[in-house]
Amino acid sequence: MKLTRATIKDIIICEPEIHGDTRGYFVETFRQDKLEEFLGFKINFCQDNESKSSKGVLRGLHYQLPPYSQTKLLRVIQGRVLDIAVDIRKDSPTFGEHVSIELTAENKKQLLIPHGFAHGFVVLEDDTIFAYKVDNYYSPENDRGIAFDDPDLGIDWQVDFSLLNLSQKDTKQPRLKATNDLFEYGVNYYE
């Protein structure tokens, strides 16, 4: 698996080696030892999640507050999504900036989003199956979000907003500058 840092260095793009022939393919989707060696710290995923969505569904931008914050390792099993991670660490040199990457069943790329980032995705193809590992359990009391259409973030979702399908929760999220529920830059949330 090839691991590279995105434009925001704490976000990792994982590109697995695909072994294919006339029978199909084989791909190693997760290697904890290689990932930890690259990151320089231990990560313990405790839960796998999966969603199926139709084209135009937008989920996000979500995060959980410490000590329930989550690192996510995301991939698409079927279909395509545009995946977004926004830096919400106060005093970070990349605060408010984002990484955007297309994850597809064909390219098999994965994105590792660490603690301190809000995450969202928009579905670009019907019947898309999206899967991800997390290193902390869901905590409804600590669930937070940022408005997906916050103009200060400058995210190009690559979909006409009139075609989006959003949850009620995601239509009412605050702008980044209107929330105090942020992370501290430089804090190790992995201990």
- Tell me the catalytic residues: 62, 132
Tokens 């698409």 correspond to: 76
Cα distance between residue 188 and residue 191, in whole Å? 6
CB distance 173 to 119 below 8 Å: no
- Give the SS3 label for residue 162: helix
CA distances from 175 to 16, 60, 88, 145, 170 (A): 35, 12, 11, 9, 12
Cα distance between residue 82 and residue 176, in whole Å? 20
Sequence-ordered list of residues with C-beta below 8 angstroms from that of 5, at least 6 positions apart, any chain: 11, 12, 13
Amino acid at 59: R
Cα distance between residue 140 and residue 138, in whole Å? 6
CB distance 90 to 152 below 8 Å: no
Checking DSSP bridges between strand 98-104 and strand 12-15, what pairing results, if any? unpaired
